[in-house]
């Protein structure tokens, strides 16, 4: 699998390498190098270029690559040293060991490719017991999330959130309506919010709970919706599609009454002026 | 037991099992003679093929198993809706290849060949029951020895380890490629192998009778 020639300075096409030996084999085949006569200087240069590229792309360069870079440079240095006695060729080729390693590794790499082919062929022949239960086989795309799934997620995060052992600041009250406004704003701006992240940002259990309540409220008002790509996967909070120009005086709609009820329960801390007025209107 | 009856009985046993059934287990279960079982298995295979039935009988993983035909794979995949075990990663396959050919083998040996840490690949392979711990090596530190399992054979549709392409063959293939570049053979003892890469001909062996006991 060699990269096409030309435009070498622009092209950043990094295949995934299993390790330094894999990278060396790639360079050898790409540059059509004779494996028994490796131009160490050239290959070292190329090897280091790849390491640099990996670093630029923020890929993790494991220690093994650095070890290989060091031994390449050691080989290079030994090749540069003049032979102690020019007539006698006692010194083994310093590349010998590397060549042996490459050949051995390549052998198994090919064996792995052979296994891959067998795997592919075998996967087309099914034995019994592969068909999943009907209940599991339902359509996957963006199933709506149940409340339980939301709560499970909350529970998972809560169990991770340490209840910090600090002085309790009594003045720190979280307001559900504030949170609702904030959530709505953020969801609209971001388009999609990770539910886990939303909760993990919370500084305390009480804030996480208020966040959840605010979210539930917005869900009930169908201002937001939650979706999940996969079972047990991340839950995403998104703004609900706008049904035309939404009337702001939502309080008049009958569907909103339970919301109002929750709202008044929530209001105990700091009643929002608007809500009071709305309720007042409805009552009056 | 009449041959026909033995054949249908074997078909029933094989149908009920999701993993390969060894000849000895089939002999034990049916109470028939090994030769009779082997012959009935062969007859069953032929009849399934002759009638182009939806399943075929295959020998793999040290036993016999009914599997579907490749031509139906697209439909079965549709039915499964992608719910299948994932393929093995390249790292796992490389590690597995080394275990398969060098077993029993230790982790340091594997890592010295691959040149990278192989702990997680080994863990995956152990979890998927492709390999198993065979004991400990006598060398310093007494590292664990790994070997492949019957599941490994079934997963790749191999009858037994001899069914793997042999390392010598791998070497020969490599060598044939090297020969194009340079005429110095690295493995002279292998030089008698044909240099040309053989086309993938599945039935090169002289008409093998399926009833080999193992």
Q: What's the rounded Cα separation, in Å, for the pair B211 and B32?
A: 14
Cα within 13 Å of Cα(A259), Cβ side: 22
CB-CB neighbors (< 8 A) of A129 in chain B: 18
Amino acid A164: pLDDT: 57
Closest Cα partner for B62 from B162, B130, B165?
Answer: B162
Q: What is the pLDDT of residues B37-50, one digit of tens each?
A: 999 999 999 999 99
Q: What's the rounded Cα separation, in Å, for the pair A195 and A241?
A: 18
Q: What is the pLDDT of residues A15-52, one digit of tens each?
A: 567 788 988 988 898 888 888 888 988 999 988 888 88
Residue B132 has which token pair?
Answer: 């198993």
Residue contact B93–A115, C-beta within 8 A: yes
pLDDT at B57 over 80: yes
pLDDT top residue among A171 and A123: A123
Which pLDDT band holds residue A83 (cuts at 50, 70, 90)? Answer: low
CB-CB neighbors (< 8 A) of B65 in chain A: 127
Q: Enumerate the domain spans of chain B.
A: 3-78, 90-161, 165-197
Which pLDDT band holds residue A266 (cuts at 50, 70, 90)? Answer: very low
| Fold topology of A143-162+173-241+256-269 | Arc Repressor Mutant, subunit A (1.10.10)
Closest Cα partner for A45 from A57, A53, A34?
Answer: A53
The burial of A238, by beta-carbon neighbours within 10 Å (0-12 exposed, 13-18 middle, 19 or more buried), is given as: middle
Q: What's the rounded Cα separation, in Å, for the pair A259 and A223?
A: 12
Strand partners, A226: A237
Q: Please give the radius of gyration of chain A, using alpha carbons only, rounded to the nearest integer.
A: 32
Which pLDDT band holds residue A90 (cuts at 50, 70, 90)? Answer: low
pLDDT top residue among A258 and B7: B7
Q: Please give the radius of gyration of chain B, using alpha carbons only, rounded to the nearest integer.
A: 21
Total number of residues shown for chain A? 284
Which pLDDT band holds residue A59 (cuts at 50, 70, 90)? Answer: low
The region of weakest confidence among A65-69, A260-264, B56-60, B143-147 is A260-264
- The residue written with tokens 């390549």 in the block is A106
Angle between helices B34-50 and B23-30 (to 10 degrees): 110
CB-CB neighbors (< 8 A) of A62 in chain B: 116-117
Residue contact B83–A35, C-beta within 8 A: no
Strand partners, A114: none
Q: What's the rounded Cα separation, in Å, for the pair A27 and A46?
A: 7
Query: Is some CB atom of chain B closer than 8 A to the CB atom of A138?
Result: no
Q: What's the rounded Cα separation, in Å, for the pair A49 and A56?
A: 10
Of A110, A111, A125, the CB nearest to B67: A125
Output the average pLDDT for chain A: 71
Amino acid A152: pLDDT: 67
pLDDT at B15 over 90: yes
Domain B3-78 is in which class?
mainly alpha
pLDDT top residue among B199 and A150: A150
Mean pLDDT of A167-185: 75
The region of weakest confidence among A210-214, A226-230, A271-275 is A271-275
C-alpha distances in Å from residue B159, one per residue of A222, B10, B87, B152, B213: 59, 19, 20, 10, 12
**What count of other Cβ atoms lies within 10 Å of the Cβ of residue A52?**
11
Residue contact B94–A112, C-beta within 8 A: yes
Of A34, A105, A126, the CB nearest to B114: A105
Q: Min CA distance, B142 vs chain A (Å)?
A: 24
Which of A21-30, A269-278, B202-211 is modeled with the greatest confidence? A21-30
Residue B57 has which token pair?
Answer: 């009988």
pLDDT at B6 over 50: yes
Contacts of B31 (CB under 8 A, 6+ apart): B1
What is the interface pTM, i.e. ipTM, of the complex? 0.74
Q: What is the DSSP string of B24-84?
A: HHHHHHH---HHHHHHHHHHHHHHHHHTT-SEEEEEETTEEEEEE-GGGHHHHHHHHTT-S
Which of A105-114, A180-189, B63-72 is modeled with the greatest confidence? B63-72
Query: Is some CB atom of chain B closer than 8 A to the CB atom of A132?
Result: yes
pLDDT at A5 over 50: no
Q: What's the rounded Cα separation, in Å, for the pair B103 and B61?
A: 17
Closest Cα partner for B158 from B147, B170, B168, B150?
Answer: B150
A193 three-class SS: strand
Mean pLDDT of A119-127: 90
**What count of other Cβ atoms lies within 10 Å of the Cβ of residue A262?**
15
Contacts of B38 (CB under 8 A, 6+ apart): B23, B210, B211, B212, B213
Domain B90-161 is in which class?
mainly alpha
């Amino acid at each position: 699998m060699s990269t096409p020639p030309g435009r070498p300075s622009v092209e950043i096409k990094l295949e995934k390498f299993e390790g330094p030996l894999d990278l060396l084999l790639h360079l050898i085949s790409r540059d059509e190098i004779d494996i028994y006569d490796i131009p160490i200087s050239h290959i070292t240069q190329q090897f280091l270029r790849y390491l640099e590229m990996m670093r630029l792309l923020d890929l993790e360069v494991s220690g093994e690559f650095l070890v290989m870079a060091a031994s390449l440079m050691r080989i290079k240095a030994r090749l540069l040293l003049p032979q102690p006695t020019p007539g006698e060729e006692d010194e083994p080729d310093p590349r010998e060991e590397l060549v042996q390693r490459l050949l051995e590794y390549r052998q198994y790499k090919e064996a792995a490719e052979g296994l891959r082919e067998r795997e592919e062929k075998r996967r087309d022949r099914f034995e019994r017991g592969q068909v999943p239960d009907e209940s599991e086989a339902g359509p996957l795309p963006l199933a709506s999330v149940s409340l339980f799934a939301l709560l499970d997620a909350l529970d998972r995060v809560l169990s991770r959130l340490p209840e910090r052992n600090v002085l309790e600041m009594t003045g720190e009250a979280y307001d559900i309506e504030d949170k609702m406004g904030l959530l709505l704003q953020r969801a609209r701006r971001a388009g999609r919010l990770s539910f886990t992240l939303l909760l993990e940002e919370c500084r305390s259990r009480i804030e996480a709970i208020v966040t959840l309540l605010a979210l539930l409220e917005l869900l009930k008002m169908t201002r937001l919706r939650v979706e999940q790509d996969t079972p047990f996967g991340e839950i995403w909070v998104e703004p609900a599609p706008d049904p035309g120009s939404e009337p702001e005086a939502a309080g008049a709609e009958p569907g909103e009454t339970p919301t109002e009820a929750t709202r008044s329960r929530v209001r105990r801390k700091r009643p929002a002026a608007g809500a009071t007025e709305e309720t007042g209107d409805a009552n009056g | 037991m009449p041959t026909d009856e033995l054949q249908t009985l074997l078909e029933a046993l094989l149908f009920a099992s999701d993993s390969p059934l060894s000849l000895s287990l089939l002999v034990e279960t049916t109470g028939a003679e090994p030769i009779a079982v082997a012959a009935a298995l062969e007859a069953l295979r032929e009849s399934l093929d002759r009638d182009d039935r939806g399943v075929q009988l295959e020998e793999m993983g040290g036993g016999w198993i009914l599997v579907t035909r490749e031509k139906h794979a697209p439909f079965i995949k549709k039915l499964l809706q992608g719910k299948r075990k994932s393929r093995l990663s390249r790292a796992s396959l490389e590690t597995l290849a080394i275990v398969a050919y060098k077993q029993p083998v230790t982790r340091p040996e594997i890592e010295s060949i691959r040149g990278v840490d192989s702990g997680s690949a080994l863990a995956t392979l152990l979890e998927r029951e492709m390999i198993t711990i065979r004991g400990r090596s006598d060398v310093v530190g007494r590292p664990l020895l790994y070997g492949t399992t019957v599941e490994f054979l079934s997963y790749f549709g191999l009858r037994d380890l001899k069914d793997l392409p042999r390392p010598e063959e791998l070497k020969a293939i490599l060598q044939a490629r090297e020969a194009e570049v340079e005429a110095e053979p690295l493995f002279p003892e292998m030089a008698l192998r044909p240099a040309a890469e053989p086309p993938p001909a599945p039935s090169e062996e002289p008409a093998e009778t399926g009833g080999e006991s193992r």
